[in-house]
């Protein structure tokens, strides 16, 4: 079995390296440490053959001499990577055996997902009713509304309330130093074209951010109708794409498709501890959270993420009490 990993997206935005942030930062066999590598005890390649796709040109070690590839790139190619790529596979004349897709903290429907940020922050006690709502008040005339032309502007206001991302700081530095070593690049047969240094997230791409508003939720319905299993999972500590909105979308999709609940909403366990929550619809659409996990779940909760990955490949529900003993 081959698993394709595409479209890494960190807080800096789209265009991050699947090899750097994914293979070396999350679920690959090794992680940089000091002058060398250490084994990753929870590597996903223990369960499947992993293929990390650097795309589009300008991300990671994927560069082009033709700079036109760097302009007007759709954001469908990052936050929407998995559904769009799977859709191309299904539509192509190439005979494939696509068994399933899994999307983590995905941007499925712009208004829903970004409107969930405020709800998530408030429910976790991270913003107050009185103080933080002042961001939406016109201080020159408190009786007037504040003109925010789009949901993205509202999300930007909320993002300013959050602390800068602290997770991954040391590991990101280790990865950057390691992948910029000439001997490492030579061993990987990697070339840098048009840039002088490898970076986790590309700054040479010009994204059309309006494409964020193109919903990809309908594509999940298309896959399900084609018999392709779908797993959508979230780190429950991610405030970038909060699980609150994702759960609402998946529940609505199941109702729209007429899928009955086959695994009721319950906890799943690993090592006799709660690993998160899960629900399965029609034995083909699954939703799950990973307890204590960030936007980059395999980094912050590697053991729990591996259990989830293994269950998905096996086509089985996440373990409950009877399976965890």
Alpha carbons 142 and 139: distance in angstroms, whole number = 6
Identify whether the C-beta of residue 293 lies closer than 8 Å to the C-beta of residue 236.
yes
pLDDT score, position 233: 95
Helix (H) or strand (E) holding 104: strand 100-104
Residue linked to tokens 């709800």: 119
Q: What is the largest CA-CA distance in the chain?
A: 64
Alpha carbons 4 and 2: distance in angstroms, whole number = 7
Q: Which residues of the chain have pLDDT under 50?
A: 11-12, 68-79, 139-143, 163-168, 324-325
pLDDT score, position 134: 59
Alpha carbons 22 and 298: distance in angstroms, whole number = 9
Q: For 246-300, how does the pLDDT look when each residue is reduced to its tens digit (9 = 90+)? A: 999 999 999 999 999 999 999 999 988 999 999 999 999 999 999 999 888 998 8
Alpha carbons 61 and 231: distance in angstroms, whole number = 29
Q: In this structure, which CATH number among 3.40.50.10680, 2.30.30.90, 3.30.420.40, 3.40.50.1820 belongs to the domain 2-126+162-324?
A: 3.40.50.1820
Segments making up each domain of the chain, as ranges: 2-126+162-324
What's the half-sphere exposure (Cβ side, CA atoms, 13 Å) at 191? 5
Alpha carbons 201 and 14: distance in angstroms, whole number = 8
Identify whether the C-beta of residue 85 lies closer than 8 Å to the C-beta of residue 6.
yes
Q: For 64-76, how does the pLDDT look when each residue is reduced to its tens digit (9 = 90+)? A: 665 544 443 333 3
Q: Which DSSP symbol is given to 267?
A: E
Tallying the residues shown for the chain, one arrives at 325
3 state SS of 232: strand
Alpha carbons 213 and 275: distance in angstroms, whole number = 32
- Structure pTM? 0.82
φ, ψ dihedrals at 229, nearest 5°: -70, 145
The 10 Å Cβ neighbour count of residue 243 is: 26
| Burial 48-76, CB ≥16 within 10 A → b, else e | eebebbbbbbbbbbbbeeeeebbeebbbb
Identify whether the C-beta of residue 236 lies closer than 8 Å to the C-beta of residue 105.
no
pLDDT score, position 194: 66
Residue linked to tokens 């700054």: 203
Alpha carbons 318 and 321: distance in angstroms, whole number = 10
């Amino acid at each position: 079995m081959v698993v394709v990993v595409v479209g890494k997206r960190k807080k800096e935005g789209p265009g991050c390296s699947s090899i750097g942030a994914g293979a070396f930062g999350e679920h690959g066999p090794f992680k940089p440490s000091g002058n060398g590598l250490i084994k990753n005890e929870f590597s996903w390649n223990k369960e499947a053959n992993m293929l990390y796709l650097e795309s589009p040109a300008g991300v990671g070690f994927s560069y082009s001499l033709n700079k036109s590839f760097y302009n007007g790139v759709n954001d469908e190619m990052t936050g929407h990577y998995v559904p769009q790529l799977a859709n191309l596979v299904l539509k192509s004349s190439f005979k494939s055996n696509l068994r399933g897709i899994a999307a983590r903290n995905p941007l499925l429907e712009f208004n829903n997902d970004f409107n969930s940020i405020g709800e998530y922050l408030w429910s976790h006690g991270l913003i107050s009713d009185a103080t933080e709502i002042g961001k939406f008040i016109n201080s020159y005339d408190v009786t007037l509304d504040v003109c925010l032309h789009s949901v993205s502007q509202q999300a930007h206001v909320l993002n300013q309330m959050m602390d800068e991302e602290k997770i991954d700081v040391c590991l990101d530095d280790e990865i950057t130093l390691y992948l910029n070593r000439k001997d490492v690049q030579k061993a990987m047969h990697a070339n840098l074209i048009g840039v002088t240094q490898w970076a986790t997230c590309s700054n040479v791409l010009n994204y059309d951010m309006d494409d964020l508003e193109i919903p990809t939720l309908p594509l999940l319905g298309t896959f399900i109708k084609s018999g392709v299993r779908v797993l959508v999972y979230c780190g429950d500590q991610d405030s970038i794409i909060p699980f609150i909105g994702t759960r609402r979308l998946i529940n609505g999709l199941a109702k729209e498709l007429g899928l009955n609940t086959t695994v009721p909403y319950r906890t799943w366990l690993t090592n006799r501890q709660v690993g998160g929550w899960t629900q399965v619809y029609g034995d083909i659409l699954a939703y799950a959270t990973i307890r204590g996990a960030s936007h980059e779940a395999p980094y912050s909760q590697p053991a729990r993420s591996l259990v989830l990955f293994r269950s998905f490949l096996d086509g089985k529900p996440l373990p409950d009490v009877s399976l965890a003993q």
